[in-house]
Homo-oligomer: A and B are copies of this chain.
Amino acid sequence: MRAEIIGVGTELLLGQIANTNAQWISSRLATLGHSVYHHTVVGDNLKRVTDSFALAETRADLVIVTGGLGPTEDDLTLDAAQLVFDEELVEHEDSMEKIKGYYQRNQKFMSENNRKQARVFESASVFPNLEGMAPGQLVKHDDTLWVFLPGVPREMKYIMDEYVIPYLQNNYHIESQIVSEMMRFIGIGESDLETKLQSFITSQTNPTIAPLASEGEVGLRLTATGESTEKAKEKILTLKTEILAQVGKYYYGSDAITIEEKVRDLLKEKGFKIGSAESFTGGRFLERLIALPGASSVCQGGYTVYTVDMKERVLQIPKFLIKKCGTISHECAEMMALNAQANLNVDVAVSFTGVAGPDASEGHEPGTVFIGLQIGERKPEVHKFHFDGGREQVRVRAVKKAYEMIFHRLKK
């Protein structure tokens, strides 16, 4: 079904909260195979809510409305729907009992406006709200299915999961099943990946391929439909195999995995311990690894050697080397990795030295970065980079790049 999700509430338009309800409902509908074509947010204004409802009815088979079911004058979702449906609202007995019961139990006075919350359409299927006051309800009008839900996320999710999703599953069986996989790549840019896979992207309709760039990585979402989940999975697998034949060397995993987790897993697999010597990254590389469960089996520890004094005194980088080459140099990054490996007693040592900005340092522009990597007895390697962006981006990108380097070395 073509679905639209309408959020009613001025607090959304003032930016006091984000419309996370629409996100949550969308992801639920996506797994059921329904296509959400629009999200709309409108304030607590009868004319504008009514207009939005009238528009939704022209373009959607399923409209899910969140918010505007409360007791105050601002809550006018059902009043607007009444104008569109031309159907009576009645008081729902069970819901009214529940509301009264709440006030009795809490020995509070129930003001008359609370009756509003028990209103339902005569023809509605009513969904009890165990998490709050106003019930959810489902109404058919012309060819459109309307669902009204409270705006409080906890209440909305409860009614969706308990009633709405089962209702949709039972009454709107989707013939074709949808399966989707997010393939994750590192070390290749979005447009480069797209160019390499151009023939697939333009020719494929099932599965579809959608590239998605994020910080230092690219994802490729494959989405297939089939008469059964197995059939859809087979289609994904066939395409995935073809894609891996082209760009497999940049692929590190699918769906929820992160590059940090992949590196942790590779280290574990090889029985390697890792440590770091970090300057401008401030320890971020190791911190991102220790953030993961299971870090203790692969992480030893590290040095954050931010100042020249720390590099010389704590990490024993020779004074003459710093004098000759500076701390932002190939030589310093190399010696940092070597000394970290030895002092920390680890198999893999990574080092960072560079300029995060905003100011230049030792004559190097912000974004200039050297990353050193020392694995076992191999020759140490050092790479120089220039990263764009502000201080935070340069640091984030440098750390991501190091994970990329380690991934490519260890997977061999």
Residues of A participating in the B interface, judged by any CB pair closer than 8 Å: 7, 10-20, 22-30, 35-43, 45, 48, 52, 55, 70-74, 102, 105-106, 108-111, 113-114, 131, 154, 189-192, 194-195, 201-202, 210-213, 276, 278, 280-284, 286-287, 289-293, 295-296, 299-307, 309-310, 313-314, 343-345, 357-358, 386, 388-393, 395
Q: In the complex, which residues of chain B have a beta carbon less than 8 angstroms from the beta carbon of A13?
A: 26, 35-39
Q: Are B25 and A15 in contact (CB under 8 A)?
A: yes
| A22–B17 CA distance with the chains assembled, in angstroms | 10
Supply 22 A–B pairs (Cβ within 8 Å), ascending by A: A12-B39, A15-B23, A15-B26, A15-B27, A15-B29, A19-B19, A38-B42, A38-B52, A40-B40, A71-B191, A111-B191, A154-B393, A276-B304, A282-B289, A282-B299, A283-B286, A283-B304, A284-B291, A290-B395, A293-B358, A301-B314, A302-B303
Q: Are A307 and B296 in contact (CB under 8 A)?
A: yes
Q: Are A39 and B36 in contact (CB under 8 A)?
A: no
| A303–B391 CA distance with the chains assembled, in angstroms | 22
Q: In the complex, which residues of chain B have a beta carbon less than 8 angstroms from the beta carbon of A309?
A: 300, 345
Taking A12-B23, A293-B391 as known contacts, 7 extra A-B pairs with beta carbons closer than 8 A to each other, sorted by chain A number, are A18-B22, A38-B41, A71-B191, A108-B192, A109-B192, A301-B305, A314-B344
| A7–B22 CA distance with the chains assembled, in angstroms | 13
Q: In the complex, which residues of chain B have a beta carbon less than 8 angstroms from the beta carbon of A19?
A: 18-19, 22-23, 39
Q: Are B282 and A286 in contact (CB under 8 A)?
A: yes
Q: Are A280 and B287 in contact (CB under 8 A)?
A: no
Q: 3 tightest A-B contacts by CB?
A: A282-B290, A15-B27, A283-B283
| A343–B303 CA distance with the chains assembled, in angstroms | 12
Q: Are A344 and B282 in contact (CB under 8 A)?
A: no
Please judge, given known A-B contacts A14-B26, A192-B108, A201-B73, whether A301 and B301 are in contact too, CB under 8 Å.
Answer: no
**A192: contacting residue among B36, B111, B303, CB under 8 A:** B111
Q: In the complex, which residues of chain B have a beta carbon less than 8 angstroms from the beta carbon of A191?
A: 71-72, 110-111, 113-114
Most buried by B among A72, A289, A290, A343: A290
**A389: contacting residue among B131, B195, B390, CB under 8 A:** B131
Q: Are A300 and B310 in contact (CB under 8 A)?
A: yes
| A106–B41 CA distance with the chains assembled, in angstroms | 41
Q: Are A302 and B290 in contact (CB under 8 A)?
A: no
Q: In the complex, which residues of chain B have a beta carbon less than 8 angstroms from the beta carbon of A192?
A: 108-109, 111
| A286–B110 CA distance with the chains assembled, in angstroms | 33
Q: In the complex, which residues of chain B have a beta carbon less than 8 angstroms from the beta carbon of A281?
A: 287, 290
Q: Are B37 and A14 in contact (CB under 8 A)?
A: no
Q: Are A291 and B301 in contact (CB under 8 A)?
A: no
Please judge, given known A-B contacts A190-B71, A301-B314, whether A282 and B283 are in contact too, CB under 8 Å.
Answer: yes
CB distance from A105 to the nearest CB of B (A): 6
User: Of all chain B residues, which has the CB nearest A313?
Assistant: B345
| A292–B357 CA distance with the chains assembled, in angstroms | 10
| A343–B110 CA distance with the chains assembled, in angstroms | 43
CB distance from A90 to the nearest CB of B (A): 21
Q: Are B314 and A295 in contact (CB under 8 A)?
A: no
| A202–B74 CA distance with the chains assembled, in angstroms | 11
Please judge, given known A-B contacts A13-B39, A71-B191, whether A290 and B314 are in contact too, CB under 8 Å.
Answer: no
Q: In the complex, which residues of chain B have a beta carbon less than 8 angstroms from the beta carbon of A25?
A: 15
CB distance from A117 to the nearest CB of B (A): 9
Most buried by B among A14, A109, A300: A14
**A303: contacting residue among B11, B28, B301, CB under 8 A:** B301
| A72–B192 CA distance with the chains assembled, in angstroms | 11
Q: Are A106 and B386 in contact (CB under 8 A)?
A: yes
Q: In the complex, which residues of chain B have a beta carbon less than 8 angstroms from the beta carbon of A40?
A: 38-41
Q: Are A291 and B102 in contact (CB under 8 A)?
A: no
Q: Are B314 and A386 in contact (CB under 8 A)?
A: no
| A28–B192 CA distance with the chains assembled, in angstroms | 36
